[in-house]
């Protein structure tokens, strides 16, 4: 299911940046930081939630800090037409942190986590036992080079024009 991309302006990007930099901030604090009315911030956030730009408010959990310091990426080759089945099978394995359908030599790329090498082996065996997986290839993560991030990509957008919020527009036109 494809969505029409949301049209973000400078104020939307400023709100997203403030939300990222001050993750516990409420609407009033975001209003203060962006120098626009609370109702404007609340309306903009609601619009971005509706458009799917803001997908969740889940905390970012560092699984390594939580004791799962062995991670790997696993490329799966699956049976033809079995994507829905493998998705359900992978979702049932707690060590599968995320999985994506891909192009190339593999069909699905998974990130998995475990508390030890023995735990990693157990997760890999669980994946290999699923009915739809024909073959898997894994690589162990040694360290994080670039952590998960979104703001640098969002900042490459060409905003759709100036904000309608006068206070924001005036503070950024100087």
- pLDDT tens-place string over residues 51-62: 999 999 888 889
Token output for 172: 């950024």
Q: How confident is the model at residue 75 (pLDDT cuts 50, 70, 90)?
A: very high
Q: Report the distance separating Cα 58 and Cα 66, nearest Å.
A: 16
Does 169 score more than 70 pLDDT? no
174 vs 16, higher pLDDT: 16
Q: Name the fold adopted by 10-59.
A: Arc Repressor Mutant, subunit A (1.10.10)
- Name the phi and psi angles at 112, rounded to 5: -125, 155
- Residues 92-103: b if buried by 16+ CB within 10 A, e if exposed: ebebbeebeeee
pLDDT at residue 6 in the model: 84
The mean pLDDT value of the chain amounts to 90
d(CA 130, CA 92): 10
Q: Say whether 117 sits in a helix, a strand or coil.
A: helix
What's the mean pLDDT in 41-60?
93
Predicted model pTM: 0.79
The pLDDT of residue 94 is: 97
Q: How far apart are CA 89 and CA 127, in angstroms?
A: 8
Q: Measured on CA atoms in the order 91, 55, 110, 141, is the torsion positive or negative?
A: negative
Collapsed DSSP state (helix, strand, coil) of residue 80: coil
Annotate 42-76 with DSSP letters as a single string.
HHHHHHHHHHTSS--------TTTTT--EEEEEEE
Residue intervals of the chain classified under CATH 3.30.70.920 are 70-140
- Provide the pLDDT confidence category of residue 161 given band limits of 50, 70 and 90: low
Give mean pLDDT, residues 1-27.
Answer: 88
List Cβ neighbours of 117 (8 Å cut-off, separation of 6 or more): 70
Residues of the chain with CATH 1.10.10.10: 10-59
Q: What architecture (CATH level 2) is domain 70-140?
A: 2-Layer Sandwich (3.30)
- What is the band of 99 on the pLDDT scale with cuts at 50, 70, 90? very high
Taking the C-alpha atoms of residue 171 and residue 169, their distance in angstroms, rounded to an integer, is 6
| pLDDT tens digits, one per residue of 118-151 | 999 999 999 999 999 999 999 999 999 999 888 8
pLDDT for 173 equals 59
Is a pLDDT exceeding 80 seen at residue 107? yes
């Amino acid at each position: 299911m494809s969505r029409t991309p949301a049209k973000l302006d400078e104020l939307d990007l400023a709100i997203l940046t403030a939300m990222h930099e001050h993750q516990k901030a409420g609407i009033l604090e975001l209003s203060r930081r962006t120098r626009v009315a609370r109702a404007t911030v609340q309306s903009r956030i609601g619009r971005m939630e509706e458009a799917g730009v803001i997908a969740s408010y889940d905390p970012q959990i560092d699984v390594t800090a939580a004791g799962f310091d062995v991670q790997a990426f696993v490329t799966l080759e699956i049976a033809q037409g079995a994507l829905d089945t493998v998705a359900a099978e992978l979702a049932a394995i707690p060590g599968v942190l995320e999985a994506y359908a891909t192009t190339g030599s593999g069909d699905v790329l998974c990130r998995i986590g475990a508390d030890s090498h023995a735990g990693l082996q157990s997760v890999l065996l669980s994946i290999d036992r699923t009915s739809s997986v024909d073959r898997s290839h894994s690589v162990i993560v040694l360290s994080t080079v670039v952590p998960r991030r979104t703001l640098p990509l969002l900042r490459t957008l060409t905003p759709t024009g100036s904000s309608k919020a006068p206070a924001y527009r005036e503070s950024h036109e100087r």
